[in-house]
Structure 1
Amino acid sequence: MSVNRIWPSEIVLHEDADTGATVRQLTGYRAHSHHFYFTNPGWHDGGKRLLVSSDRNNATNLYSIDLGTAESRVLYRMEEGWDVSMINCSADGLHVYASITEDMSDRFRVDYLRGYVGFRETWEARPLSRIVKASTDGSGGEFIFKEKYWIGHVNTSPTKPDVLTFCHQGPWDCVDNRIWGMNVSKGDVWKIRAPEEGETIGHEYWHADGERVRYHGERADGAAWLGHCRYDDTDHVENHFPGKTGHIHSNGPDLVVGDGGRVVRLWRRNGDTYEEPRVLCRHDSSAKIQQVHVHPRFNADGSQVVFTTGVSGYGNVYLADVPPVDSLPQINE
């Protein structure tokens, strides 16, 4: 498939049956398509385009969807034999960062995309992992960190070019410490929100200010909570968090989107706690494989949520408009 081939619009518009929210289906090719993991924004060209991955012509490639015309364009063709993990661009656009981990598939079966096969075994194996820094001008790259622990989820601050987070990947109740910070220019590495006895923590991401890192988890007694702190592991703020959730995203502390259960849901902060969640729209995705994980994420101004669902039989990418929160039905779980 040639780079820059333009595919015609596949957009389908509908109103959610439960809430009346406007939902746009952006992809409709009869194979899986999905937006980026929720820690990666995907929007570019001033919010006029959205990057997605799509399986077309028996290959998985990167596409850019024009949100005005809904045409998609091939940007990059993946070479065989590579497994890219969480590529993120620095705030100044000069570098991209990613983690790479030695291949464990010759020791045990590995299929993270379909049922997390080999997930625990990889954590137990303590594979050699590296964080890669590559220049966007094509001048080359370097390894900036390595250790014998499974590293994943390299997330760059959206405002600080030299600051990123990464995680120790594995079962949340087993890893030594989930979230780590790094100052690339100094080489400093530090823990962020070390868990207390019996706690689990994960699904970290950056607030839009590039100063604060958000995460969620459970206490030893099973109580769900939502927290955020400065990237230097100071000024921790943690709140009770009601209702089911899986992956969450927010641009700041006031409104959170998540994919728990069969619906895309919103939580609004009210003082020191969060209100019961409200339904934005249904997703009804099975989430049995990574390509149909919902992974909702707000756009920059919080007016829309992008998500993926396999409800049609194939994974497809959708955009839902966010109406006034009070107009949405509340979920009591």
Structure 2
Amino acid sequence: ENPGLYHGANYYGFKEQMYAIKKGWITLVYLDGSKAVTVHESSHWLGHFQFAPDDSTLAMFCHEGPWHLVNQRIWLLDLISRDIVPCFRQHQDDCVGHEFWTSDGKIFFDNRRKDHDGTITSNKTQATSVEPETAEIPYVGLADSKGNVVKCTDMPYYCNHYHATNDNKLLVGDQVEDLVLIHLDENSAKLETLCSHHTSWRTQQSHCHPTFSWNNEKILFASDRKGRIHLYLAEQQDGKWL
């Protein structure tokens, strides 16, 4: 259901929408127009539905809302049995989101730790929470298709969104002002500035959401650096990013 509370700039109504929604559902729609089937219903705000890239019977979705107010963000859905299981069982100080499938069927997620609401506004602050705890270290986690965490990599600071290369050894992330490459070869992350994006963060449409191409040689991202929101490509040539 849509109470119509979440709209406008800087996450206006985001928290209120989460509390107002009392019914959510996931419906599979056949592209040949033959039928539509509801496979899951919930009393939560549901979002970020994603099919697994290597298993058409498996999907992932989230309980949406400010991260520090959601007690279990990421869920896995068996489309045959319609059973759901949590992916990465959260504890009290976990603030989790921006989950995505890797090309080999694993799941990256962002854990910003205690008190972070997962948002960023045009004044470069959170929308619905006080300043988060600074003593806790943010990290990116990697889970398998059963929801079990197989690796956690500490970050010197969090980015707003992430995406991975095919081998899961390199992430691209959007800092407040720049896109960064995040090397995961070691136990700790090594960050390298790629370029400035100059987006305003005013609306969710202006969020960068950097994404690698299928061959890992290009990065697609959004920005309203010239006033209107456009898509941009950073390209790699002879092993170097242009």
TM range (shorter): 0.7 to 0.9
For residues 102-123 of structure 1, the C-alpha deviation after alignment (integer angstroms, 9 at most, x for no partner) is 1202xxx430x52222211121
Higher RCO (Cα < 8 Å, 6 or more apart): 1
Q: Is the 8 A contact 1:285 1:311 kept in 2?
A: yes
Residue identity in the other structure for 2:3 = M
Q: In the alignment, does 2:65 pair up with 1:170?
A: yes
Counting matched residue pairs gives: 220
Residue 107 (structure 2) aligns with: 213
Q: Tell me how far apart the structure 2 counterparts of residues 322 and 261 of structure 1 sit (CA, whole Å).
A: 23
Of 85, 94, 117, 1:190 maps to 85
Aligned to 1:110: 6
Identity of aligned residues (%): 25
Which sections of structure 2, spanning at least 5 residues, go unmatched?
115-134
Moved over 4 A (4+): none
What residue in structure 2 maps to residue 304 of structure 1? Answer: 218
**Partner AA of 2:94 in structure 1:** E
The equivalences for 1:136-175 within 5 A come to: 136-175=31-70
Secondary structure, counterpart of 2:49 in structure 1: strand
Q: 1:287: Cα distance to partner?
A: 1.5
Separation of aligned partners in 2, 1:235 and 1:311: 37
Residue 126 (structure 2) pairs with residue 230 (structure 1)? no
Deviations 1:52-81 (A, max 9, x none): xxxxxxxxxxxxxxxxxxxxxxxxxxxxxx
CA RMSD of aligned residues (A): 1.7
- In the alignment, the residues of structure 2 paired with residue 227 and residue 149 of structure 1 have an alpha-carbon distance, to the nearest angstrom, of 24
Offset at 1:160?
0.7
> Is the deviation greater in 144-153 or in 226-235?
226-235
> Could you tell me how far apart the structure 2 residues matched to 1:142 and 1:131 are?
8
Over residues 11-50 of structure 1, what are the superposed CA-to-partner deviations in whole Å (9 max), with x where a residue is unaligned? xxxxxxxxxxxxxxxxxxxxxxxxxxxxxxxxxxxxxxxx
* Offset at residue 236 of structure 1 (A): 2.2
Correspondence 1:261 to 2:160: no
The answer on whether the counterparts of 1:244 and 1:261 sit within 8 Å (CA) in structure 2 is: no
> Are 1:321 and 2:235 an aligned pair?
yes
Using the TM superposition, give the Cα deviation of residue 235 of structure 1 relative to its aligned residue in structure 2, in angstroms. Answer: 4.7
Return the offset for 1:193: 0.4
Quote the Cα distance in structure 2 between the aligned partners of 1:239 and 1:110: 33
1:172 aligned partner, one-letter code: W
